[in-house]
Amino acid sequence: MFDALTAQPPDKILALMAAFREDPRSDKIDLGVGVYRDASGNTPVMRAVKAAEQGLVEEQTTKAYTGLAGDPAYAEALSGLILGPDVPRVRLAHVATPGGTGAIRQGLELIRMANPGAAIWLSDPTWPNHPAIAKYLGFDVKTYRYFDPATGGVDAAGMLNDLMKVPRGDVVVLHGCCHNPTGANLTLGQWAEVAGLLQERGAVPFVDIAYQGFGDGLEADALGVRLLVDRLPEVMIAASCSKNFGIYRERTGLLMSLVGSMAELKVTQGAMASLNRLNFSFPPDHGARVVSTILTDDALRADWEAELDAVRTSMLGLREQLAGELRTRSNSDRFGFLAAHRGMFSLLGATPEQIETMRRDHGVYMVGDSRLNIAGLNAQTVPRLAEAIVAAGV
């Protein structure tokens, strides 16, 4: 049987990680891996997470399974964080999943179960796992314009023109905030235009929100998805707690499906629970308990929000520093978009040859599409990166 298997293409980010580890230079810079790092290069455990975990160790009396959909308190707390105080609970089905990637996979499985002929529309560019999972599941994958390399911003006109071609029943994947890999976000006015167009076309939005709190703050980062939920009869949401709670290895996600009626709610909830059963039976619980503990304890929540805001402002400061260093070295403002972007990532616009030059001559490692992880920098490495970018002729 196994002799029929063919070698899978190597993961580019994992290959980049291996090359970085093997580089003996002490001043090398890793801008590839999508995790937050502090100024010392560490991915710290947040204070509130440590406190919540200590409480769980002392108070938890069982490690028995949760329900197929996960702990209801977790879904209640996280849906409230994302959708605000007016969560439409009578229309919202939800299941806990192994991370945000698990939520995306379960969401696509649900779409295939409900409408196997639906096409999946993805932004150009998008996170590579979006098309990889959709194609593996047999979907027809289409793209809509999103990023304008000339301005470093959203190609709003191109996006709307492409979405006007979406047939009824197709699914449009949207990034809730901090677009990966570009860092370019829709304005609230553009979100409203997208919502109106999707409603007119009869298409279903599927929002991937993995960076809430990393952009303009917890509330501001959720306004787009809240607008969609307010205006459309059906919305799917894949949420991740990896970044904003710093619990990457705990694999803590949530899939939410907003449906049109109470009758649809029961059937949809049952289908989502059934998919959990088929794919992994019961979802992981430790990270979910940590999140619900933090979000329902006033002191822990306040401390978590303060630390998360410090993470956010640190990345904004690095963006502004990098844009300033590049302005000085290039004698132009062509990199000003870096300060306007939000989240961990920006798409620099470098060619593969320029990326290789930066790696070879300066020890700067970034993904081949020129996505750079702002959180991989600190105040000392920003000038070196700026020097490498300008020297490579970007």
DSSP 156-225: HHHHHHHHTTPPTT-EEEEESSS-TTT-----HHHHHHHHHHHHHHT-EEEEEE--TTSSS-HHHHTHHH
Confirm if 205 and 198 have CB atoms less than 8 A apart.
yes
12: annotated active-site residue:
no
User: Element (H or E) spanning 154, and its range?
Assistant: strand 153-154
Q: Active site residue: 210, 222, 388, 392, which one?
A: 210
Residue with tokens 């059906």: 234
| Annotated catalytic residue, options 155, 162, 170, 208 | 208
Peptide bond into 10 cis (omega under 30): no
Is the Cβ–Cβ distance between 123 and 143 less than 8 Å? Answer: yes
Is 243 assigned a catalytic role? yes
Q: Specify the pairing of strand 204-209 against strand 140-145.
A: unpaired
Place of tokens 């956010």: 312
Question: How far is C-alpha 218 from the chain's CA centre?
Answer: 14
Tell me if residue 24 falls in helix, strand or coil: coil
**Other beta carbons less than 10 A from residue 198's beta carbon:** 23
Q: Where are the alpha helices (DSSP H) in the chain?
A: 12-22, 47-59, 72-83, 99-114, 129-136, 156-163, 188-201, 218-221, 223-231, 262-279, 286-295, 298-330, 337-340, 352-362, 381-391
Considering 127, 184, 191, 304, which one is annotated as catalytic?
127
Q: Would you state the torsion angle of the CA atoms of residues 88, 94, 96, 98, taken in this order, to the nearest 10 degrees?
A: -110
Among the listed residues 134, 170, 243, 285, the single catalytic one is 243
Q: Which of 383, 385, 380, 379 is nearest to 365 (CA)?
A: 385
Q: Are strands 235-240 and 252-258 parallel, antiparallel or unpaired?
A: antiparallel
Contact (Cβ atoms closer than 8 angstroms) between residue 188 and residue 227: yes
150 labelled catalytic: no
Note if 361 is an active site residue.
no
Alpha-carbon gap, residue 57 to 290, rounded angstroms: 11
User: Looking at the annotation, which residues are catalytic?
Assistant: 127, 208, 210, 243
